[in-house]
Amino acid sequence: MSLSHHLPPPPGDPYYVYAPHPYPDTQRQGVLTLFVAGLPDDVKPREIHKLFSSRPGFDHCLLEYTGRGNQVVAFVSFVNHQAALSAMSALNYVIPGVKYPDHREYSGTVFDPDTGDRLHIELAKSSSRKRHGDGGVYRVVDKRLKRKERAADHENAGDGGNDDDAWGEDDNGGNDGDGGSDEPLDTENDDSDEKNELPAERSSGQPGLKQHRGQSLSDDQPDKLSSDIPPCSTLFVANLGHSCTEEELKEVLSKQPGFHLLKMRRRGGMPVAFADFTDIESSTAAMDALQGTVLASSDADGLQIEYARSKMRKS
């Protein structure tokens, strides 16, 4: 019902860019996945996550480093077509947390004001398939690494036409157009034209079924991202600013029911913290409540909170 709602455009904002008109009723009708281009090469999965996860109907995301220049694309899927369209309309001109120097709240399709990179969002050619199973799934495909590994492993002739698509030797500046959305994944059963709006139902039906894939990207590699850490009464807190202190973080955490104690660790780079709670229920509630919280010391986004991989020792 509220799926079609989105933030209104800023009145008189010269930076406002109207979203491309939704595709006519030809193709891509019923597609659940958005194709996102124009991302900087150093974009982090969590940045994509923050852009889309709060959109109504968000389901899962695939981030792909294409290896061509600094092109990074994402395939973001929603539970139904309307939700995908709504998110596309909204995010084509609303980038939360990104402002112009004059504090303009809405920034069109500019993703990073420093670089001027602009997001380009459209419906994908086909719906992405969530990796079998459940849970919020984030997948990352890094073709830059794959090419390097392949080159270094040149002597090995064991892999006969495995997965990759055509890799030009050094086609750096060649094709920029991204004149369309490459398809994120082969739909395992070629049913992309039906009006099904409940993707989870069909996709979980045929585990392990493989199909030919000509130039589609490989989808059989293990997940790189672990958003499937089992619940734990201890939370892992990352994305803290350099200057974040234990006191500052504890001030926020201590307001959460069931909070026990906090430990911070600095391993050279950014500090991380472990926050212990009485039980999983309270740690989960605290994670939900504080996810993305921006502290005064934050120099990037807000707090990134996950379940810790092991419970804090009793003291």
Partner DNA sequence: AGCACA
Chain residues binding DNA by CB under 7 A are 44-46, 49, 138, 225-227, 229, 234, 236, 238-239, 263, 265, 267, 270, 272, 274, 276, 304, 306-313
Q: What's the N-to-C CA distance of the chain in angstroms?
A: 49
CB 63 within 8 A of CB 77: no
Give the Cα separation of 21 and 175 in Å (integer): 25
Q: Which is nearer to DNA, 212 or 267 (CB)?
A: 267
Q: Which is nearer to DNA, 135 or 180 (CB)?
A: 135
Closest CB 315 distance from DNA, rounded Å? 7
Closest CB 199 distance from DNA, rounded Å? 21
Tokens for 291, please give them: 């996810």
Residue among 124, 90, 140 nearest 199 (CA): 124
- Annotate 127-191 with DSSP letters as a single string: ---PPSSSS--EEEEEHHHHHHHHHHTTT-----S-S-----SS-SSS-----SPPPSS--SSS-
Closest CB 19 distance from DNA, rounded Å? 26
Q: Which is nearer to DNA, 47 or 183 (CB)?
A: 47
Q: Which is nearer to DNA, 116 or 269 (CB)?
A: 269
Closest CB 311 distance from DNA, rounded Å? 6
Give the Cα separation of 286 and 224 in Å (integer): 26
Closest CB 41 distance from DNA, rounded Å? 13
Q: Which is nearer to DNA, 64 or 188 (CB)?
A: 64
- 59: buried, middle or exposed (CB in 10 Å: 19+, 13-18, 0-12)? buried
| Residue 290, SS3 per DSSP | helix
Q: Which is nearer to DNA, 178 or 306 (CB)?
A: 306
Closest CB 162 distance from DNA, rounded Å? 25
